[in-house]
C-alpha cells in the first residue's frame, strides 16, 4: 500500500452546496471559524489466559493404583505391586491397560526419552516392565510406558490397529495429565509383541509418526505362519515403500528355539523383509549365548540398542 499523503481539495469546502455538505455529514461554517476536532477512542479488552499447570509425571504416575482395573492375582499381582512400589502406575484404556514409570529426575531431564513396550504371549505391561525394563531404563534415564493388549478374561489379543489406537489414546492422556513434554519415543516389543511391531510400525509411519525407532526382541513371524492382516494387506498392494523412513534395531539369541526353529533365522528373515519394503535396520544383534528374550540380561546388547536409539537425529 502506498504511503498516506495529504490531499488539498481543488475547491474550498465552503463552496460546496449546503445540501451536499449536509448529506456528507459535514457541518457548514463560516470562513473565519475553525472546524471542531472529533477524537474517536477505541477500548480494547485484553483477556489473559492462565497457563495450565500439570503435575510432575512422577507425582501423577504414583496416583495410578489400578483402581479402574480388575484386581490382579498370582504373579500378575506381584508384578503390579513391584511397579507401584517403584513409583509407577497402571491405568485402564479402552478395556485394556497401560503401565507407566518415570525416572525421579524426569522434570529436569533433557533430552527426554521413552521406551514404549509391547509384552509377549500371555503377558501384560507390568510383567514386561519387570522382566525387560525395570533396571536398564533407570540406568539409561528412560521413562517406560507399556501397553497391555491382552484381555485375560477372554484370552483375546488386540490386533495391530486396535493396539495402535490405544497407544495414541494413552499418549494423549499422559500429555494431558502430567508435565510429559515432547520426548523421543521408541517402540520395543518382546516375543509376540516383537512380531506385532511390524504392523504397528507400518500404521505409525502412515499416521502420527510417534516413534523414532522400532526395536524387535526375539520375535517375528514363525516359519509357516502367515503375516498379520495389516502386513498381508500392504504386501498384497505391492506397497514397496511401506517402511520408508522407518528405523529398526533387532535382537536374537542363538540358543533360542522358542518357536521350534532358530530364532536368529526368523529374525534374519524379518530383517530382509523390512529392507525389502524400504525400511532401515541399524543392526540385527546376534547373541551367541542368548535364549528367548535374552536382551534384558546382555549388557552389551542393551548398550548397542540404546546407542542406536540415541544416535538417531
pLDDT at res. 43: 59
Q: How far apart are CA 70 and CA 92, in angstroms?
A: 9
Q: How far apart are CA 86 and CA 80, in angstroms?
A: 10
Q: How far apart are CA 82 and CA 95, in angstroms?
A: 22
Closest-CA residue to 215 (of 115, 313, 127): 115
pLDDT at res. 4: 35
Q: How far apart are CA 88 and CA 81, in angstroms?
A: 9
Nearest 10 degrees: Cα torsion 294, 299, 301, 303: 140
Percent of the chain with pLDDT over 70: 84
Q: How far apart are CA 64 and CA 61, in angstroms?
A: 6
Query: Which residues are CB-contacts of 306 (< 8 A; sequence separation ≥ 6)?
Result: 136, 140, 142
**CA-to-CA separations, 137 to 48, 68, 122, in angstroms, rounded:** 41, 26, 23
Instruction: Determine the Cα angle at 120 with ends 115 and 126, to 5°.
Output: 60
pLDDT at res. 49: 63
Q: For 8-57, write each residue's pLDDT tens digit.
A: 333 333 333 333 223 334 333 334 444 455 555 555 666 666 667 899 99
Q: How far apart are CA 126 and CA 119, in angstroms?
A: 9
Q: What is the mean pLDDT of the chain?
A: 88
pLDDT at res. 308: 98
pLDDT at res. 284: 98
Stretch (H or E) spanning 194: helix 192-205
Least confident segment among 2-6, 132-136, 267-271, 293-297 = 2-6
Least confident segment among 28-42, 81-95, 99-113 = 28-42
Cell of 68: 479402574
Q: For 133-185, write each residue's pLDDT tens digit.
A: 999 999 999 999 999 999 988 999 999 999 999 999 999 999 999 999 999 99
pLDDT at res. 274: 98
pLDDT at res. 15: 36
Cell of 56: 510432575
Closest-CA residue to 53 (of 182, 143, 176): 176
* Model confidence band, residue 236 (pLDDT cutoffs 50, 70, 90): very high
* Model confidence band, residue 223 (pLDDT cutoffs 50, 70, 90): confident
Q: For 197-213, write each residue's pLDDT tens digit.
A: 999 999 999 999 999 99
End-to-end CA distance of the chain: 44
Stretch (H or E) spanning 109: none
* Rg for the chain, CA atoms, rounded: 31
Q: What are phi and psi of 187, to 5 degrees?
A: -95, 125
pLDDT at res. 44: 62
pLDDT at res. 18: 30
Number of H helices, E strands in the chain: 10, 10
Q: How far apart are CA 51 and CA 241, in angstroms?
A: 42
Determine the average pLDDT of the residues in 177-197: 98
Amino acid at each position: 500500500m502506498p504511503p498516506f499523503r495529504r490531499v488539498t481539495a481543488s475547491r474550498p469546502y465552503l463552496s460546496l452546496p449546503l445540501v451536499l455538505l449536509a448529506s456528507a455529514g459535514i457541518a457548514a461554517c463560516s470562513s473565519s471559524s475553525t472546524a471542531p476536532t472529533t477524537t474517536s477512542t477505541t477500548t480494547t479488552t485484553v483477556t489473559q489466559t492462565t497457563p495450565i499447570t500439570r503435575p510432575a509425571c512422577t507425582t501423577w504416575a504414583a496416583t495410578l493404583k489400578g483402581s479402574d482395573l480388575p484386581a490382579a492375582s498370582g504373579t500378575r499381582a506381584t508384578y503390579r505391586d513391584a511397579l507401584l512400589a517403584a513409583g509407577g502406575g497402571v491405568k485402564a484404556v479402552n478395556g485394556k491397560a497401560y503401565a507407566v514409570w518415570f525416572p525421579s529426575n524426569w522434570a529436569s531431564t533433557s533430552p527426554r526419552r521413552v521406551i514404549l513396550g509391547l509384552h509377549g504371549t500371555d503377558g501384560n505391561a507390568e510383567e514386561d516392565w519387570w522382566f525387560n525394563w525395570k533396571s536398564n531404563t533407570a540406568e539409561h534415564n528412560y521413562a517406560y510406558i507399556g501397553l497391555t493388549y491382552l484381555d485375560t478374561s477372554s484370552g483375546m489379543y488386540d490386533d495391530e490397529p486396535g493396539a495402535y489406537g490405544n497407544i495414541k489414546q494413552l499418549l494423549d492422556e499422559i500429555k494431558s495429565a502430567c508435565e510429559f513434554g515432547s520426548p523421543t519415543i521408541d517402540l520395543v516389543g518382546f516375543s509376540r509383541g516383537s512380531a506385532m511391531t511390524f504392523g504397528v510400525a507400518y500404521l505409525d509411519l502412515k499416521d502420527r509418526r510417534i516413534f523414532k525407532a522400532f526395536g524387535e526382541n526375539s520375535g517375528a513371524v514363525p516359519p509357516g505362519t502367515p503375516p498379520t492382516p495389516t502386513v498381508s494387506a500392504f504386501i498384497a498392494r505391492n506397497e514397496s515403500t511401506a517402511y520408508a523412513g522407518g528405523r529398526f534395531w533387532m535382537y536374537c539369541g542363538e540358543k533360542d528355539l522358542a518357536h521350534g526353529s532358530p530364532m536368529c533365522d526368523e529374525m534374519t528373515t524379518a530383517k530382509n523383509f523390512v529392507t525389502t519394503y524400504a525400511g532401515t535396520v541399524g543392526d540385527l544383534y546376534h547373541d551367541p549365548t542368548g535364549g528367548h528374550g535374552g536382551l534384558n540380561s546382555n549388557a552389551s546388547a542393551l548398550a548397542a540398542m540404546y546407542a542406536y536409539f540415541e544416535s538417531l537425529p
